[in-house]
Amino acid sequence: MNRKDEHLLLAKAQQHKPKENDFDSVSFVHQSLVSISDDQIDLSTSVLGLELEVPFYINAMTGGSEKTKVFNQQLAMVAKATGLMMATGSVSAALKDPSVADSYTIVREENPDGLVLANMGAGRSAEDAQKMIDLLQADAFQIHINVPQELVMPEGEHDFELWEDNIRETIQAVDVPVIVKEVGFGMAHETIQKLLDLGVQAVDVSGRGGTSFTQIENSRRKRHELFYLNDWGQSTVISLLEAQPFVDDVTLLASGGVRDAFDIFKAVSLGANAVGISGTILNAVMSDGVDATIEMVEDWKAQLRTLYALTGKATTKDVQKNQLIITGAPKDWAELRGIDLRKLATR
């Protein structure tokens, strides 16, 4: 079976198991009086000059086979109907095998005027990045970093020496904004500082809590012996706490384990300019179809308007100032890492 198809099936299997995650450890300080009306609420946000109608988007997932072409087309249909930005999965497969390029270009064909992001791993060059951008006429570019996945993947890379140079050179060379993203293992503040030093202006902390690529890759190993890495990494909430010192220095994005509009709202309240959704939207398309997924997305927009009003916030930037109470595992982590949660609770 094609590796991309295998990833798709294993990711869907994970989505069949609704699970608690660290977003459940985030709550809000309720204020009984708010001064706001519905016509004041503006859900829009911006990411490196890209204007988004709402603070969430369809994050990188798939491509590279006939089967994934079908799902990329359906995801692009959802993006077009709802005005969401959409990222493709890694376009590297199209450079290796031009016959599968249409599994990616279908996104632009289906949504010619939408915001589309191309994606590649940090192991590839700036020259490759520009080829992928040109192929998709991409508005922005994602470089994903995925060391745990590569190490567990049976055919994965084990040489990461050039990754930092590749990131720096790609940012300098390409003609669109660049986002560096994890693939579900989260980030620590030391990593974010390194990325800033490389010239990165936008970071997707993409934490543990959703699709686990170590679990997927271990399932593809003959002996499944690396099961203990299934939950490797920091959660999205913990990663956003780690990112707090940088909220004024970098465009912060979040993804990983986002289940609904409330999780989107919590991630924005923790400083994310926008929130990427992968597994939840993919599962909706695969299980319920395009029309039902469009309806779900529109419902999320309506729910976000309710949540903005509930906390008396008119704009996405205002939401980032919500007072938050952090409990459970994220609180324990913050205390050990010297992150002052009182600032979030009393701002």
For the segment 261-290, what is each residue's pLDDT rounded down to a tens digit? 999 999 999 999 999 999 999 999 999 999
State the pLDDT confidence band at 210, using cuts at 50, 70 and 90: confident
pLDDT digits (tens, 9 = 90+) for 278-326: 999 999 999 999 999 999 999 999 999 999 999 999 999 999 999 999 9
DSSP string over 170-186: HHHH-SS-EEEEESSS-
Q: With the C-alpha atoms ordered 260, 261, 266, 271, is the resulting torsion angle positive or negative? A: positive
User: Residue 251 and residue 234: Cα distance in Å, rounded?
Assistant: 19
- Mean pLDDT within 72-87: 97
Q: With the C-alpha atoms ordered 322, 328, 330, 331, is the resulting torsion angle positive or negative? A: positive
- Cα Dmax for the chain: 60
Residue positions forming the annotated binding site for Mg(2+): 150
Average pLDDT score, the chain: 94
H helix and E strand count, the chain:
16, 12
Residue positions forming the annotated binding site for FMN: 60-62, 90, 119, 181, 206, 211, 257-259, 278-279
The predicted pLDDT at position 343 comes to 97
Residue positions forming the annotated binding site: 3-4, 60-62, 90, 119, 149-150, 181, 206, 211, 257-259, 278-279
Q: What is the DSSP letter of 83?
A: T
Does position 17 have pLDDT exceeding 60, yes or no?
Answer: no
User: Residue 91 and residue 215: Cα distance in Å, rounded?
Assistant: 22
* Minimum mean pLDDT range among 8-22, 57-71, 103-117, 156-170: 8-22
Measuring CA to CA, how many Å separate 201 from each of 8, 34, 181, 319? 30, 34, 11, 21
Does position 20 have pLDDT exceeding 90, yes or no?
Answer: no
State the pLDDT confidence band at 14, using cuts at 50, 70 and 90: low
pLDDT digits (tens, 9 = 90+) for 21-57: 999 999 999 999 999 999 999 999 999 999 999 999 9
Domains of the chain as residue ranges with CATH: 3-346 (3.20.20.70)
The predicted pLDDT at position 222 comes to 92
The predicted pLDDT at position 2 comes to 59
Does position 197 have pLDDT exceeding 80, yes or no?
Answer: yes
Residue whose pair of structure tokens reads 């970098």 in the numeric block: 250
State the pLDDT confidence band at 19, using cuts at 50, 70 and 90: confident
Side chain identity, residue 259: R
